[in-house]
Amino acid sequence: MIPVTGFAGHDVAVLGLGRSGLSTARALAAGGARPICWDDSAEGRERAAAEGFVIRDLTGRDAFFGVARLVTSPGIPHLYPRPHPAIAAAEAAMVPVDNDIGLFFRSVATPDWQDFDTPPRIVAVTGSNGKSTTSALIHHILTEDGRPAQLAGNIGRGVLDLDPPGNGGVVVLELSSYQTELARALTPDIAVFTNLSPDHLDRHGGPGGYFAAKRRLFAEGGPDRAVIGVDEPEGRFLAGQLSEGPSDDRVIRISVAEKLDGPGWSVAARKGFLAERRKSRQVASIDLRPITGLPGRHNHQNACAAYAACRALGLSPRGIEAALASFPGLPHRSQLVAERGGVRFVNDSKATNVDAAAKALQAFGRIRWIAGGLGKEGGIAALAPHLGSVAKAYLIGHSARDFALQLGEVPLEVCETMEVAVARAAAEAEPGDVVLLAPAAASFDQYPDFERRGQHFVDLVRGAE
């Protein structure tokens, strides 16, 4: 646990009592604060009360009298589309609002770090797509290299549940826009921006607010090194803002769209080959094509980001290459579930938006595509240029019929449920086909989260073996 510093003897309110909320309450108490907890659900309040925490309705007019800080869970809106009543009450009482990420950054460094031969480092990864795989890949490479490393944030453990990092330790954090948007402290040693595509726009008041939430990771704390994906205008803009000039190697640009040249530091992957360049010279290269845990161009972008972050930490190209080869991939992200009769079954349930689904559709040849769920604004119209490899679409969920109207000449079947879609796709698949779950939609119409949706696909596929 990372005890929260700076609030000993003070009341600190905690809103939202899921995984991160309860961890926050425990870490506050460990640091000498007095947590006051609230959750909109009776179940959440009961969990906190069972651990002895004080429960108080934070939506009341006088709820924040004597409270030093409100710490809110990331899923609770604080601005758009409208603030949660407890957050509005805190702001009316002039009580600052923070989250567990902000508390982590203000508490993780201790005086002991001055005595370490190698001070701990923090790597933080954000972006629209690929941040989970990139974070897990960085952690895997470090572990394979013998470095003490922990993985947390939007993946793995809650940040305040981590063990205090010791000599030479590295903490790898995956951070969503919900987490970076509100944190009052953001001071990683290395910050990674994978890419940007429209997502969570209602929460951020549009694309500008969404990008601004991501940008805070780089603007607030000023990382020693920034790894920036430059295949979108926002990434190029961010890299330009952070750089003092073409040869400034504090910014490492990454790309899978073009060869990057110039006097600076870059890592790019083209046609399956990763190349690192510094001062206009290639210094290392890796053939990514045989790596089964990183299929497709989107995973090659993840490999570039992880490679660059690990190089910034001082790892060797050959050590990184060996670790990449042993990376198994993550569940629900281009996960090879089974291969039967020459047909591969791939679970990419994490492809909850159009951009992520496009990347999955570009990663394979002839595809039996399972898509649908709770569609987002615009549906799947933007996927039209990426449907050439789709032999047939099998549509499920709330948006199945809306998606069907946007697929043009692509053969399709409205299946409604995952059970029907998997059965139909498996029955019609031919050797060489890939049955791909890449929904291009949220899961909340039929499942509590994308993990549960992906696991249902996995269970159905493996149950049919």
**Mean predicted confidence (pLDDT) in 234-239:** 96
Predicted pLDDT of residue 155: 84
Examine residue 1 and state whether it is found in any structural domain, yes or no: no
pLDDT band at 143 (very low <50, low <70, confident <90, very high): very high
Binding-site residue ranges: 127-133
Q: Of the candidates 325, 356, 380, which is a domain's last residue?
A: 325
Query: Is 262 in the same domain as 383?
Result: no
Examine residue 5 and state whether it is found in any structural domain, yes or no: no
Number of domains the chain contains: 3
Examine residue 4 and state whether it is found in any structural domain, yes or no: no
Examine residue 6 and state whether it is found in any structural domain, yes or no: no
Q: Of the candidates 35, 69, 98, which is a domain's last residue?
A: 98
**Mean predicted confidence (pLDDT) in 9-32:** 96
Query: Is 94 in the same domain as 135?
Result: no
Binding-site residue ranges for ATP: 127-133
Examine residue 235 and state whether it is found in any structural domain, yes or no: yes
Query: Is 387 in the same domain as 272?
Result: no
Query: Is 74 in the same domain as 170?
Result: no
**Mean predicted confidence (pLDDT) in 265-269:** 97
Question: What confidence tens digit (pLDDT) does each residue in 333-346 have?
Answer: 888 899 999 999 99
Question: What confidence tens digit (pLDDT) does each residue in 273-322 have?
Answer: 999 999 999 999 999 999 988 888 889 999 999 999 999 999 999 999 99
Examine residue 145 and state whether it is found in any structural domain, yes or no: yes
Query: Is 86 in the same domain as 184?
Result: no
Domain with residue 395: its CATH number is 3.90.190.20
Q: Say whether pLDDT at 245 is over 50.
A: yes
Q: Say whether pLDDT at 465 is over 50.
A: no
Query: Is 355 in the same domain as 374?
Result: yes
Examine residue 261 and state whether it is found in any structural domain, yes or no: yes
**Which structural domain, as residue segments, surrounds residue 90?**
11-98
Predicted pLDDT of residue 328: 84
Query: Is 196 in the same domain as 260?
Result: yes
Examine residue 280 and state whether it is found in any structural domain, yes or no: yes
Query: Is 42 in the same domain as 177?
Result: no
Query: Is 117 in the same domain as 228?
Result: yes
Predicted pLDDT of residue 205: 85
Domain with residue 242: its CATH number is 3.40.1190.10
**Mean predicted confidence (pLDDT) in 402-423:** 96
Query: Is 403 in the same domain as 261?
Result: no
Question: What confidence tens digit (pLDDT) does each residue in 100-135 have?
Answer: 999 999 999 988 898 899 999 999 999 988 899 999
Beta-ladder partners of 58: none
Q: Of the candidates 325, 348, 365, which is a domain's last residue?
A: 325
Domain with residue 89: its CATH number is 3.40.50.720
Query: Is 294 in the same domain as 177?
Result: yes
Query: Is 201 in the same domain as 240?
Result: yes
Q: Say whether pLDDT at 201 is over 80.
A: no
